[in-house]
Amino acid sequence: MVPFYEIQRSDIKIIHNKRELNYPTHVHEHMEILYIFDLSQHINIDGIDYEINAGEAAIIFPNTIHTYYREVYRDTDEICLLFLPGIFKGLFQNFFDVQPESPVITDIDSSVKLAFKELLSCTDFTEQVAWTMLIFSKLIKKLNLTHKQSIPVAGLTKKITTYISLNFKENITLDLLAKEFCVSKFYISHTFSEKLKVSLSEYVSSIRAKYAAEQLLSTDDSITNIALNSGFSSQSTFNRTFLKIYGMSPREYRNNF
């Protein structure tokens, strides 16, 4: 039997932001596309700073270290589209061993701009897949791809970030990870500060905040329950972390979207 990829709803994530993000350094296996409807967003991709302006997009390939940041609190209007490349298996090349010469795309077709707008209000999963395919198939043609000289994140760092993505709701500490991966907790701390440029606690908090943001928009659960179910020890810690990343409180985020 020919192997196939079973598409799941979790394979595509659509995030609409009205404030410029300040999201710590992170890495994942999703393809990520940032498109700006209005104003701009600062982002660092693989060590290089960019400011993506209205009508422009940036594509972050799987396993590429990147950071969203802002210089001051300010509004924006942007969409982040994340999807696992496996949903288009067989239609495109393997994107784990290539990278774009530049991740920024400035000349975007009107059909792609329309597709981004449609994704904001689209709730049907099949339509989301279709719009995502249109966007990606159009944008990928705009990039000059080269083979990676080295893998940005490999070995222990990749294993730890994968572990955190699966267990972020639990109490994750340096001692826990040291025991899990049979290495010194000081080595793990050094790995985060050198490779991801953030502390372990900052990284875990960012993953929890991202999950909470999704729950705020997709459920009617109380903010307190969402905070606790996302792994935060208290709502005050959750509120402080969320404000730092999204530029607004969880309640404002839910009401605005």
The 10s digit of each residue's pLDDT in 115-143 is 999 999 998 999 999 999 999 999 999 99
pLDDT at residue 3, rounded to an integer: 37
Q: Which residue has the higher pLDDT, 244 or 92?
A: 244
Residues ≥6 apart with Cβ < 8 Å to 35 = 56, 57, 78, 79, 81, 108, 113, 116
pLDDT for 57 beyond 60: yes
Domains and CATH numbers, the chain: 12-147 (2.60.120.10), 155-256 (1.10.10.60)
**Given this model, what pLDDT does residue 7 score?**
42
* Model pLDDT for residues 95-111, shown as the tens digit of each residue: 777 889 999 999 999 99
Dihedral angle, C-alpha 202, 203, 206, 208, nearest 10 °: -110
Cβ burial, residue 90 (10 Å; 0-12/13-18/19+): exposed
Pick from 6-10, 21-25, 139-143 the range whose average pLDDT is largest: 139-143
Contact 28, 163 (CB under 8 A): no
5: Cα separation from own chain's centroid = 22
- pLDDT of amino acid 6: 44
Q: DSSP labels for 23-59?
A: PPPB--SSEEEEEEEESEEEEEETTEEEEEETT-EEE
Give yes or no for residue 225 having a pLDDT over 80: yes
Query: At 149, is the pLDDT very low, low, confident or very high (cuts 50, 70, 90)?
Result: low
Query: What 8-state DSSP symbol labels residue 230?
Result: T
Using a 10 angstrom Cβ sphere, with 0-12 exposed, 13-18 middle and 19 or more buried, the burial of residue 191 is middle
Under 8 Å between Cβ of 116 and 37: yes
Residues in the chain: 257
Specify the pLDDT at position 2.
Answer: 35
Instruction: Report the C-alpha gap between 128 and 158 in whole angstroms.
Output: 29
Instruction: For residue 92, name the pLDDT band (cuts at 50, 70, 90).
Output: low
pLDDT, averaged across the chain: 88
Q: Does the pLDDT at position 60 exceed 80?
A: yes
Lowest mean pLDDT, pick from 13-22, 141-150, 182-191, 240-249: 141-150
Report the candidate in 153, 176, 182, 152 with the shortest Cα–Cα distance to residue 164. Answer: 176
Q: What pTM does this model have? A: 0.76
On the question of pLDDT at 150 being above 60, the answer is: no
Residue linked to tokens 């500060």:
193
